[in-house]
């Protein structure tokens, strides 16, 4: 019998209960006991949702108050020296100090670094390592949560970030490789596994996402060392979990490790199945990541079953596990809550709760013969075909504009030397002009006014009057302090992606489609469901309004095509580069309209440029080629005297 499994469930709660509880704790509004009780209620609710869906391998320890890598740091006691930790247990205040810093009468320490989790928009706390680092078990969270679920009658599969990935994802402060600490780290993992074994655990999920990266020989050897040691006395089953890309040249390594199961991502890399089956051997379970853990589109049962049946034919039902491609951490929680979405679009979607149903259905179809499956498959096929054929998705005019792009559409008409001369003449700026990045604080007052306007409690006239007043004040203030290139402050904008997406065709927005970005920070990514176009100007009114208030050149502010793509749930029925070019053309139209309105400096923000970089070196050149082209499309075919700026916060410039 095939088994239905899950790799991880969203932590934040349908109504962002965790976010609100954590932030209330930080403010001192609730005690730690209340925070922990809310966390417990969420964990138990999520376990029951998975149990009711028919998931047999339900994860535990996937829940976190802030970040699962920070949880691992706490588990092994890898606390940086600046926090002066000398105890045996990491308490909640130290845990949050590592993620947020701590400033009070006795302490002034900065937070640990945070960076992107592979190529997702989730951020993790980066472990810090020194040559003389030592580890000790300082948190029993994984054991406690396993026992907590067991007390409810729910057998879970505890989740651990693997020791090799933990070290590889860290930052070394001395001139050494963190992998040199492996021998010190492994005894802590052995201690944890032994405790779980004594508690009666059947399976443990150990995530080693770094197995999909380009690894040096030392890292490959570290995997062999780690798993030879961990499996030696651990009698329960280990599910070695990979995701976000193919195993590639690490496939033979992964299949040779002494573990009982291997999970592979067949959404990102379906082509790896045949070779994995060939190398897997005769005794390991194979977990098939068939349901997309990172996007929101309904699973195509026909395609998934075709892949699953190939695996069943080769290995037998008893060795096959059906699962999402990755943790559902990256997915909104429940589509049923989206009552305002267009009905046809909603029928194409699947959030975390629905993905659990999809996993269970695929598993059941492989195990049983039932009349109900005929109707389920028919409904699924109808939804897939509806999306393929919908006029809401396909716009011939947009497709033609992309197909008719020529090299000149991604090039400025003159070399930089000529452009800078024209800009110097037009703008008359000092040698070192002063400007800002663009947006000014979204105050409580502003948020309330915007919310009141959206609810219909104030008129458009009153809302515009407030925005005008704020813009007037900001322009005057910038002139008074000597800003050479003022900005209008973006008071009319709620979010740098959402604001534009709401004005573009092909975008849709949810009410409760929240996902965790980091800690208590949640985002609600738009959905790019169809061909993207710009019906009318998006920023010209307020930028032009600001320009009328000053003789200095006001800078227009736009979000670039890569960021508009990366910070959304993107359609999966065409290559991402095609969707990106559509967005680039829309931004290009806006640039030209700003130029016609007399705006001569335009900033196109691309903070997500690095985020889109593929995990494997062999794929990076192709991405950089189309990503750079998309940015150039958005900023070309304009006058020499128009000056383009960009801003790439959050990027690792060494990789650019």
DSSP for 379-429, written as a single string: HHHHHHHHHHH-TTT--HHHHHHHHT--GGGGS-SS-HHHHHHHHHHHH--
What is the C-alpha separation between 281 and 576, in angstroms, rounded? Answer: 36
What is the C-alpha separation between 256 and 275, in angstroms, rounded? Answer: 13
Q: Using 50, 70 and 90 to split pLDDT, how confident is the model at 86? A: confident
DSSP for 268-334, written as a single string: T-GGGHHHHHHHS-SS-EEEEEEE-SSS-BPP-HHHHHHHHHHHHHHH-GGGEEEEESS-GGGS-S-
C-beta atoms surrounding 605 within 10 Å: 23
At 132, list the tokens: 């003389």
Beta bridge partners of 264: 288
DSSP for 593-649, written as a single string: HHHHTT--EEEEE-TTTTTTS-SSGGGHHHHHHHHHHHHHHHT-SS-TTPEEEEE-T
| Mean pLDDT along residues 534-542 | 97
| Mean pLDDT along residues 78-96 | 93
| Mean pLDDT along residues 256-279 | 97
pLDDT tens digits for 316-351? 999 999 999 999 999 999 999 999 999 999 999 999
The full set of domains in the chain, from first to last, is: 407-655 (3.20.20.210)
What is the pTM (predicted TM-score) of this model?
0.94
| Whether the Cβ atoms of residue 5 and residue 57 lie closer than 8 Å to each other | yes
Residue 652 has pLDDT above 70, yes or no: no
pLDDT of residue 55: 98
Residue 648 has pLDDT above 90, yes or no: no
C-beta atoms surrounding 174 within 10 Å: 12
| Mean pLDDT along residues 107-124 | 92
- What are residue 29's phi and psi, to 5 degrees? -80, -25
pLDDT of residue 655: 61
Beta bridge partners of 605: 559, 647
Nearest C-alpha neighbor of 609 from the set 638, 643, 634: 634
Among 115-119, 348-352, 593-597, name the one with the lowest average pLDDT.
115-119
**Burial class of residue 558, CB neighbours in 10 A (0-12, 13-18, 19+):** buried
Residue 653 has pLDDT above 90, yes or no: no
């Amino acid at each position: 019998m095939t088994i239905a499994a899950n790799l991880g469930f969203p932590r934040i709660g349908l109504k962002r209960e965790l976010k609100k509880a954590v932030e209330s704790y930080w403010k001192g509004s609730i005690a730690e006991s209340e925070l922990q009780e809310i966390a417990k209620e969420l964990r138990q609710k999520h376990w029951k949702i998975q149990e009711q869906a028919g998931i047999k391998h339900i994860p535990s320890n996937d829940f976190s108050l802030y970040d699962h890598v920070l949880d691992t740091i706490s588990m092994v006691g890898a606390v940086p020296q600046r926090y002066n930790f000398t105890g045996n247990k990491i308490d909640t205040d130290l845990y949050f100090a590592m993620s947020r810093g701590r400033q009070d009468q006795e302490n002034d320490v900065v937070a640990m670094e945070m960076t992107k989790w592979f190529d997702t928009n989730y951020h993790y706390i980066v472990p810090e390592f020194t040559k003389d680092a030592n580890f000790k078990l300082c948190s029993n969270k994984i054991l406690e949560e396993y026992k907590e679920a067991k007390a409810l009658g729910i057998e879970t599969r505890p989740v651990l970030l693997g020791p090799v990935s933990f070290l590889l994802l860290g930052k070394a402060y001395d001139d050494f490789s963190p992998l040199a600490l492996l021998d010190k780290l492994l005894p802590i993992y052995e201690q944890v596994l032994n405790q779980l074994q004594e508690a009666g655990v059947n399976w443990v999920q150990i995530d080693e996402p770094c197995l999909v990266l380009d690894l040096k020989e030392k890292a490959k050897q570290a995997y062999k060392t780690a798993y030879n040691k961990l499996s030696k006395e651990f009698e329960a089953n280990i599910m070695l979990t990979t995701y976000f890309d193919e195993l590639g040249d690490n496939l033979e390594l992964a299949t040779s490790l002494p573990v009982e199961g291997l999970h592979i991502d067949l959404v990102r890399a379906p082509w790896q199945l045949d070779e994995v089956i060939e190398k897997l051997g005769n005794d390991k379970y194979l977990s098939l990541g068939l349901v997309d853990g990172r996007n929101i589109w309904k699973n195509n049962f026909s395609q998934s079953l075709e892949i699953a049946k190939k695996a069943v034919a080769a290995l037998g039902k008893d060795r096959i596990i059906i699962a999402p491609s990755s943790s559902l951490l990256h997915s909104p929680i429940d589509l049923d809550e989206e009552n305002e979405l267009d009905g046809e679009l909603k029928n194409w979607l699947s959030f975390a709760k629905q993905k659990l149903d999809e996993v269970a259905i695929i598993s059941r179809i492989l195990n049983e013969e039932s009349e109900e499956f005929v109707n389920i498959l028919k409904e699924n096929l109808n939804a897939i075909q509806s999306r393929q054929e919908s006029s809401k998705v396909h716009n011939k005019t947009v497709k033609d504009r992309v197909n008719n792009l020529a090299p000149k559409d991604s090039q400025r008409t003159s070399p930089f030397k000529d452009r800078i001369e024209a800009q110097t003449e037009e703008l008359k700026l000092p040698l070192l002009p002063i400007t800002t990045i663009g947006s000014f604080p979204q105050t409580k007052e502003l948020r309330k006014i915007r919310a009141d306007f959206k609810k219909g409690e104030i008129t458009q006239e009153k809302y515009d009057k407030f925005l005008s007043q704020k813009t007037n004040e900001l322009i005057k203030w910038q002139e008074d302090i000597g800003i050479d290139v003022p900005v209008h402050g973006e008071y009319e904008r709620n979010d740098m992606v959402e604001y534009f997406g709401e004005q573009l065709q092909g975008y849709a927005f949810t009410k409760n489609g929240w996902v965790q970005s980091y800690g208590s920070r949640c985002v609600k990514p738009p959905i790019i469901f169809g061909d993207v176009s710009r019906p009318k100007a998006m920023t010209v009114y307020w930028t032009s309004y600001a320009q009328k208030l000053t003789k200095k050149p006001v800078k227009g502010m736009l979000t670039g095509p890569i960021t508009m793509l990366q910070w959304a749930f993107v359609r999966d029925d065409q290559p991402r580069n095609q969707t990106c070019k559509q967005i680039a053309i829309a931004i290009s139209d806006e640039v030209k309209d700003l130029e016609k309105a007399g705006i001569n400096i335009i900033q196109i923000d691309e903070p997500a440029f690095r985020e889109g970089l593929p995990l494997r070196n062999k794929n990076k050149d192709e991405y950089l080629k189309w990503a750079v082209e998309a940015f150039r499309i958005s900023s070309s075919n304009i006058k020499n005297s128009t000056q383009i700026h960009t801003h790439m916060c959050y990027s690792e410039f060494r990789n650019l």
